[in-house]
Amino acid sequence: MTTNLITGGAGFIGSNLAERLLSAGERVLLLDNLSRPNVQRNAAWLRQRFGSQGELRVGDVRDEALVREAVRSVDNVFHFAAQVAVTTSLDNPADDFDVNALGTLRVLEAVRARRNPPAFFFTSTNKVYGALGWLGLNQTSAAYEPKLPQIRTYGVSESAPLDFHSPYGCSKGCADQYVHDYARSYGLRTVVFRMSCIYGPRQFGTEDQGWVAHLGLRALCEEPMTIYGDGHQVRDILHVSDLVDAFVTARGTIDVCSGHAFNIGGGPANAVSVLEVVERIGNITGRTPRLGFQGWRTGDQRYYVSDTRRFSELTGWRAKIQVSEGLLSLMDWLREGVNPTAARPEPAARVAS
């Protein structure tokens, strides 16, 4: 039976991947310090559904002995544990570096120490490309768009220059490059996903991270939303089930994927502005959200859409869930959390995909 270690396994992405692997009859070991609000609910959900087939060890990736023990007998390592917010990294850059950079190095070293090292999969970020100030942009009445036809059509590729911006960008970028280099220097089987905005069920979004879920929750609670910048910034949002498909696909094609870093997101077909997401959420709830605006935040990209062709051409993976369907699934899940007995209201006319 295949055994998988997921660091940060009680988190949003970790719990979704764990559910997929456990449903397939595999064993999953979750390593999580449970420091993020509400992730205990994800751990309890997995325990209720799968019992002893999954195991949770409460601990931190900065604990070298604990990490070595967790890695000791697994077939695959999915390293998701991280400090995840740019704002937090600005407040405490040393802790951000300790978790994201040194924590990743400790997991890599534990993998390297194995006689037959497990495959290693890492969640990086589009922040490794910085603010993308070199992109020439036009601002329409609804969104920013690139002047270059190639980027308008396909998005930002892995050939874009790395330009770490913010302590978070630096710590994740450092980890990204260590994972990439351990394939070259030590022959480890590693895959890096430089992710765009991921959303979906089991995401407890906040103002600092997980913005799609955060906006959905504010709408359901009829609370005002704060938009940083002008709301015209564009992201290619990717539903978490499509991301899980990408991890499972990469694992199954590790011989061709190993040693590569891939941009992973919804691609141009799922590119939306922040204000468009707000509008779509309002159409689902049948209420117009109340908005407030504040200044741009450090390292914010006015436009980022992933060019996913490299991963797609190697593996055949494609994002399947369109924004309209994905937002409905997220809002249904959030609604249950806000009021488990509430029936779903009839939405107003929805914006077309």
C-alpha count within 13 angstroms, C-beta hemisphere, residue 148: 10
Backbone angles phi, psi at 204, to 5 degrees: -95, 80
Instruction: State pLDDT tens for residues 176-199.
Output: 999 999 999 999 999 999 999 999
Amino acid at 67: V
Given a cut of 50, whether residue 340 has pLDDT beyond it is: no
Cα 34 to Cα 55: distance, rounded to the nearest angstrom: 14
Q: Which neighbouring-strand residues pair with 263?
A: 194
Res. 3 pLDDT band, cuts 50 70 90: very high
Cα 51 to Cα 44: distance, rounded to the nearest angstrom: 10
Instruction: State pLDDT tens for residues 152-171.
Output: 999 999 999 999 999 999 99
Instruction: State pLDDT tens for residues 131-158.
Output: 999 999 999 988 999 999 999 999 999 9
Res. 339 pLDDT band, cuts 50 70 90: low
C-alpha count within 13 angstroms, C-beta hemisphere, residue 161: 7
**Residue 168 falls in the annotated catalytic set:** yes
> What number of other Cβ atoms are within 10 A of residue 325's Cβ?
12
Selection from 94, 100, 109 nearest residue 127 by Cα: 100
Res. 338 pLDDT band, cuts 50 70 90: low
Q: What is the pLDDT of residue 197?
A: 96
Instruction: State pLDDT tens for residues 70-91.
Output: 999 999 999 999 998 899 999 9
Selection from 265, 201, 279 nearest residue 236 by Cα: 265
Given a cut of 90, whether residue 231 has pLDDT beyond it is: yes
Percent of the chain with pLDDT over 90: 88
Domains delineated in the chain = 82-338 (3.40.50.720)
Q: Is beta strand 137-139 parallel, antiparallel or unpaired with respect to 144-146?
A: antiparallel
Alpha-carbon Rg for the chain in angstroms: 20
Catalytic residue among 144, 168, 178, 182: 168
pTM for the model = 0.93
What secondary structure does DSSP assign to 160-213, as a single string? Answer: SPP---HHHHHHHHHHHHHHHHHHHHH---EEEEEE--EE-TT----SSS-HHH
Given a cut of 90, whether residue 347 has pLDDT beyond it is: no
Instruction: State pLDDT tens for residues 19-69.
Output: 999 999 999 999 999 998 899 999 999 999 999 899 999 999 999 999 999
Cα 9 to Cα 249: distance, rounded to the nearest angstrom: 19
Res. 344 pLDDT band, cuts 50 70 90: very low
Q: What is the pLDDT of residue 205?
A: 85
